[in-house]
A = this chain, B = another copy of it.
Amino acid sequence: MSSRRFGSQSLLRLLGQWQHTSSRTPLWRQLAQALRLLILDGRLALDTRLPGEREMAAALGVSRTTVASAMAQLRDEGYLVSHQGSGSVVVLPESSRKVPTRMQQQTAVDLSTAALAAGPEIHQAYQHALNLMPTHFANTGYDQQGLLALRETIARRYSARGLDTRPDEVMIVNGAVSGFALILRLLTGPGDRVVVDHPTYPLAIAAIEGASCRPVGVTLPASGWDLDGLAATIAQTAPRLAYLMPDFHNPTGRCMDAATREKVADLAAQTRTTLVVDETMVDLWYDAPPPAPLAAFNPQAPVITLGSAGKSFWGGLRLGWIRASSRTIATLVQMRDTLDLGSPLLEQLATGWLMDNGEQFLPARRQMLAARRDFCAALMREHFPQWQFVSPQGGLSFWIELPEALATLFATRAESAGINLGTGTRFGLQGAFDRYMRMPFTLSDEAMRAAFTTLQPVWASLIHQPVSLRQKKYI
């Protein structure tokens, strides 16, 4: 099993703004820290073969000694193995227990994952599901479209939200990411372009690249969506798909208003561009429920809608669904067996119960999360007055603008203090957004306060250096 080679230009893009001339940390150590963060973030994949030291030094514009020292440090820490003549390969230290992934959950305090623990209703749902199971035990258990009863529940929910839906327009999948991978498999081929918001959900980028397609970003403005930018990008790149999160966008937490939904749907209909609308966060609204699903605004628009139980209820429920025309659903169901053979029955029954009874506990969940959001905002204003943010309308996190491109440096130092941060670069293409961070507000108030108390001196050590030493161009 041979390693994948990684070109120095790709590495350069991935590293982004790794070099902070203001820092008192030697350059080789900064490089080692930046590479280690890429490995721990899952962005520099295990088993990747790095370029040679000479090539890397030339590409990064540093001395070969700097590169050699950084590599030696990573070898000592167990993140690289080198064999004479065949370069260095990314590995895991023997002591490390968990594989680094693009979804982080490694450290005691994790501020990089936006997800919640399970409420008591999850146990109730599973118990209810288990009571229903015996009626299904007489079957082989294979079902690639999903239980009719659950598809009926989902169809009713869409219809109630303003998008008339029949059960044959729904299929059950193993979560929204799984559904997106299936859609990509049906509708794209290697090298095809897929439009995404920029920033966007890191696992959407990963799924697009995993399907050998190329993500093309449309930069989000300070608020709302850039409709002209979207139209121009579609016209110029002729993408196979566009992936959008109108309710609520991850990482910014913004909600697309009804007028914009209509225009986006019209654009999709006019250009015959399939939209994949990921509604994973749709139940997590705080100020007002979102408008009707985007697909409802133009019945001629080719829209595929993705739903998920992971955020509304619990991440441990690995279940989602796809809503599309019955013809598209039938084709997706038929080719699903190239990826998996269906979703577990018990999870389907539990999710059905949770959806049918959601109004018993979702309001309290929204209230709790809105309070955490406001508490987190107050804490951030107190501890980090330089951070800019707007209060998210939904979802689970803030999108923070730093005064400088310091996210990678801040994250490497926070990691040494035992706190995992989500740098903005995870949400961008080619190293963009090092001036941003995603900050989830899913921790309890005490845990959040403790984390911020730890982070404050780390941040202060970065920001309180004399201005003259800082790299002015990023201010």
Interface residues in chain A, defined as those with a beta carbon under 8 Å from any beta carbon in chain B: 1, 42, 45-47, 91-92, 98-103, 105, 113, 115-119, 122-123, 126-127, 130, 133-134, 136-145, 174-175, 177-178, 181, 185, 187, 189-190, 203, 206-207, 209-212, 274, 302, 310, 314-319, 327-331, 333-347
- Given A181-B340, A338-B207, are A333 and B118 neighbors across the interface (CB < 8 Å)? no
Once the chains are docked, how many angstroms separate the CA of A352 from the CA of B330?
Answer: 34
Closest approach, in angstroms, between the C-beta of A161 and any C-beta of chain B?
23
Please tell me if the beta carbons of B99 and A334 are within 8 angstroms of each other in the complex: yes
Contact of A101 (CB < 8 Å), options: B175, B189, B274, B334: B334
Please tell me if the beta carbons of A327 and B91 are within 8 angstroms of each other in the complex: yes
Contacts of A328 in B (CB 8 A): 1, 47
- Given A46-B334, A318-B341, A347-B344, are A140 and B126 neighbors across the interface (CB < 8 Å)? no
14 A-B contacts (beta carbon < 8 Å): A46-B334, A99-B144, A101-B334, A103-B341, A118-B136, A119-B137, A136-B316, A141-B315, A181-B338, A189-B212, A203-B341, A206-B338, A310-B341, A316-B345
A103, closest chain B residue (CB): B142
Contacts of A340 in B (CB 8 A): 174-175, 177-178, 181, 318, 340
Contacts of A46 in B (CB 8 A): 327, 330-331, 334
Contacts of A144 in B (CB 8 A): 99, 101, 103
Please tell me if the beta carbons of A98 and B344 are within 8 angstroms of each other in the complex: no
Once the chains are docked, how many angstroms separate the CA of A187 from the CA of B282?
Answer: 36
Contacts of A115 in B (CB 8 A): 140-142
Closest approach, in angstroms, between the C-beta of A169 and any C-beta of chain B?
13
Once the chains are docked, how many angstroms separate the CA of A207 from the CA of B185?
Answer: 11
Once the chains are docked, how many angstroms separate the CA of A333 from the CA of B102?
Answer: 10
Please tell me if the beta carbons of B330 and A92 are within 8 angstroms of each other in the complex: yes
Please tell me if the beta carbons of B331 and A47 are within 8 angstroms of each other in the complex: yes
Contacts of A187 in B (CB 8 A): 1
Closest approach, in angstroms, between the C-beta of A284 and any C-beta of chain B?
14
Please tell me if the beta carbons of B130 and A142 are within 8 angstroms of each other in the complex: no
Please tell me if the beta carbons of B126 and A333 are within 8 angstroms of each other in the complex: no
Starting from the known contacts A118-B136, A118-B138, A142-B316, 5 additional A-B residue pairs (CB-CB under 8 Å) come to A45-B335, A123-B137, A136-B316, A137-B316, A174-B318
A168, closest chain B residue (CB): B97
Once the chains are docked, how many angstroms separate the CA of A333 from the CA of B177?
Answer: 15
Please tell me if the beta carbons of B337 and A203 are within 8 angstroms of each other in the complex: yes
Contacts of A210 in B (CB 8 A): 185, 335, 338-339
Once the chains are docked, how many angstroms separate the CA of A399 from the CA of B185?
Answer: 32
Residue from the set A113, A126, A274, A346 with the largest chain B CB neighbour count within 10 Å: A346
Contacts of A175 in B (CB 8 A): 340-341
Contact of A334 (CB < 8 Å), options: B100, B330, B336: B100
Contacts of A181 in B (CB 8 A): 338-340
Once the chains are docked, how many angstroms separate the CA of A222 from the CA of B341?
Answer: 31
Contact of A140 (CB < 8 Å), options: B117, B174, B302, B338: B117
Please tell me if the beta carbons of B99 and A209 are within 8 angstroms of each other in the complex: no
Once the chains are docked, how many angstroms separate the CA of A77 from the CA of B295?
Answer: 31
Please tell me if the beta carbons of B1 and A274 are within 8 angstroms of each other in the complex: yes
